[in-house]
Amino acid sequence: MSLARRKLLQLIGLLGAPTVFLLVFFFGPLLIMLVYSLLTPGLYGGVDWIFSHLNYGRILGWADTRYEKFDPVYIAIFLRSLKLAALTVVASLAVCYPAAFWISRMRPGMRDFAIFLVTLPFFVSLIVRLFAWVLILRPTGFLNQGLMGLGLTGAPIEFLYTDFAVILGMTYVFIPFMFLPLYGSIEKLDLAQIEASSDLGATRFQTFRKVILPATLPGIVGGSVITFIPALGNFIVPSVLGGAKVLMIGNLIEQQFLSARNWPFGSALAMLVMSAVLILLIAQFRLAKKEAQS
Amino acid sequence: MILRRLLSLYGLLFFVFVYAPILLVVIYSFNANTLNMMIWDGFTLDWYRQLFGMETSLTQSATFVDSTDQLWGAVRTSLIVALSTSVFSTVCGTALALAVARYRFRLARFYRTLMTLPMIMPDIVLGIALLIFFITIGMNLSMLTIIIGQSTFLISYVFVTVSARLAEVDTSVEEASADLGATPAQTFRKVTLPGIAPGILGGWLLAFIISMDDLVITYFIAGTGNTTLPIHIWGLLRRGIKPEINAIATLMLLFTLVIAAAGLYFRSRRQK
């Protein structure tokens, strides 16, 4: 057996099984979901194999079957999810950027330990971390006890089941996602450039805007994308901290599968989320490529 | 100088923000107050005793009915699933990483890009897609479907971890081994494998922890009777907030910390 042939056989041996597995159980399901999004829901929760575009029509606002009555309720929920995810990204940036800056200035030993401490909660059960916030935000929770103890408020404030709680919860659970890319680019900052900028008479703010910000932009973009994506389709955080009042697209999808039993419509909604994610990824990819060229 | 101080203060607040909620859960898992879990009323181990089915002074209304057996059933399911999934994903992910890093073929770059997809795919999308898929091909939802479903994205995590390690390992040692007359199998066993072992171990631990914690994908493809630990707690949370959850959460925390510490230990040994 020739060497080239033996190498080819080895390669097939390594790639073959995992590739087939992923083709069948990763791409297969996504493909079937696409097909389902174009089918008609059956009477008792199943599907009828009749192709239709009504599911997408319904998302766009025509909830009736004849495209007459216009009510963009689903688009509104989608936009709301985009808004909450975007606010989560902004909050994460505000929380993580200064912290990453601080940690990048530590002694090497301390620094590694600090980074370990930031990433550790990622491995702590998501549901445990969200439960902790329920304890804090509840009407009888620690936050309200503290506020009332200080006399800042007479009656408990309803923090739980608000947009605020959902954004706070998502910011909290996605901290490692935002922190690590940010830290990666802040660590690489050229200190000489910052000094040169202030030596040349730039104010701190000017130095930040003209030197530090552009240099750390890749980390900002990377962290934002990787936080935005899981925030957009999230349904656990809004379920635990948002109650029934804060509905996101993820909750809507869950309902279609577990209570409304309208799988084709749920699939169409999931296609919407997936498209948004893919568009974002392609945009980021293009941007990175352009930057690499210039 | 003032700016530096402010930054340090902010940094400390940041760590308070990250750890205070978790610490609260731990502290209040020892709270003896059965009526209002937010008010400290002395130290007790009753919530833990309750979880292990021991005698407690707790009243019926303070705890979830019949939850102990269900809890340990869920722990068992989670462990079986996590063990199977992590081993399977580690084998597949390592094979893919080896192929992409050590063989030259046209699709190598394509594979690298492709392998990020399962990681980045929103879990609810993957969860419902798998549910539809299993129902359509007529597969009953069982522990097997959970294992398959979780593997689809955990393979990617292992792939990334092992690839990172492969990129660090010097290929010239492998070439030297081949030049000195070792068969490819010998080179693999004696040179490549020991070199990437920390990466494989790290990938396996990562897959194990993520599998133990996976809620969304498992939620859709578990079916009835295959409750994993996160799904069990999810169910408890929906029934109400009772101090018992603090104790479960604290035990889970301890378990995660042990695994994370083990991972860290192996990593520090590698660096020596």
Partner A contacted by B33 (CB < 8 A): no
Spell out which residues of chain B touch residue A172, defining contact as CB-CB under 8 Å.
Answer: 17-18, 21
Locate the domains of chain B by residue range: 2-62, 67-240
pLDDT greater than 80 at residue B38: no
Q: How many CA atoms lie within 13 A of A28 on its CB side?
A: 18
* Chain B partners within 8 Å of A134 (Cβ): 237, 241
Mean residue pLDDT across chain B: 86
Express each pLDDT in A30-57 by its tens digit.
999 999 999 988 877 678 888 888 888 8
How many other β-carbons are positioned within 10 Å of the β-carbon of residue B23?
12
pLDDT at site B270: 56
Whole-number percent of chain B with pLDDT over 90: 36
Partner-chain contact B125 A233, CB within 8 Å: yes
Instruction: Compute the distance between CA of residue A181 and CA of residue A218 in angstroms, rounded to an integer.
Output: 8
pLDDT beyond 80 at B240:
no
CATH code of the region B67-240: 1.10.3720.10
Quick count: other Cβ atoms within 10 Å of Cβ B248? 26
B136 touching chain A per CB within 8 A: yes
pLDDT at A284: 87
Residue A97 in this model has a pLDDT that exceeds 90: yes
Measuring CA to CA, how many Å separate A52 from each of A253, A264, B97, B129? 19, 10, 42, 19
Between residues B15 and A247, the one the model is more confident about: B15
Instruction: Please spell the DSSP secondary structure of B135-151, one letter per residue.
Output: HHTTPPPSHHHHHHHHH
Q: Bridge partners of A47?
A: A41
Residues of B within 8 A of A138 (CB-CB) are 38, 241
Q: Where are the alpha helices (DSSP H) in A120-262?
A: 126-137, 142-149, 163-173, 175-187, 191-199, 204-207, 213-232, 236-241, 249-258
- How many residues are present in chain B? 272
- Read off the DSSP letter of residue A161: T
Identify the DSSP state of B61: G
Hey, what amino acid is at B146?
I
Residue entry with tokens 């352009």: A290
Q: Rg of chain B's alpha carbons, rounded to an integer? A: 23
Q: Which of A101-110, B52-61, B226-235, B239-248 has the lowest mean pLDDT?
A: B52-61
Interface pTM, i.e. ipTM: 0.89
CA-to-CA separations, B42 to A90, A185, B77, B243, B250, in angstroms, rounded? 41, 47, 35, 14, 18
Which tokens hold the place of A132?
């902790």
Residues B28 and B37: beta-carbon distance below 8 Å: yes
Distance CA B25, CA B29 (A): 6
A175 CB-near residues (< 8 Å, 6+ apart)? A92, A95, A96, A118, A121, B18
Residue B79 has pLDDT above 80, yes or no: yes
Chain B residues in contact with A135 by the CB 8 A cut-off are 21, 24-25, 28, 37-38, 241
pLDDT for B271 beyond 60: no
B95 inside 8 A of chain A by CB:
yes
A11 vs B105: CB contact, 8 Å cut-off? yes
Residue B170 token pair: 């010097």
Per-residue pLDDT, A40 = 87
Residue type (1 letter), A212: I
Both tokens assigned to A49? 């194999």
Mean pLDDT check: name the lowest of A28-32, A45-49, A262-266, B53-57.
Answer: B53-57
- How far is Cα of residue A165 from the mean position of the Cα atoms in its chain? 16
Which tokens in the block code for residue B215?
Answer: 């809620």
Residue to test with chain B: of A26, A248, A251, most B Cβ within 10 A: A26
User: Which of A1, A2, A15 best probes binding to B when mutated, by most B CB atoms within 10 angstroms?
Assistant: A15
Residue A51 makes CB contacts below 8 A (sequence gap 6+) with A38, A39, A40
Question: Percent of chain A scored above 70 by pLDDT?
Answer: 97
pLDDT of residue B272: 45
Q: Which domains does chain A have, with CATH numbers?
A: 67-293 (1.10.3720.10)
Q: Tell me the sheet residues that pair with B31.
A: B43
CA distance A185 to A175: 16
Residues in chain A: 294
Return the DSSP state at A62.
B
Give A231-240 pLDDT, tens digit per residue: 999 989 999 8
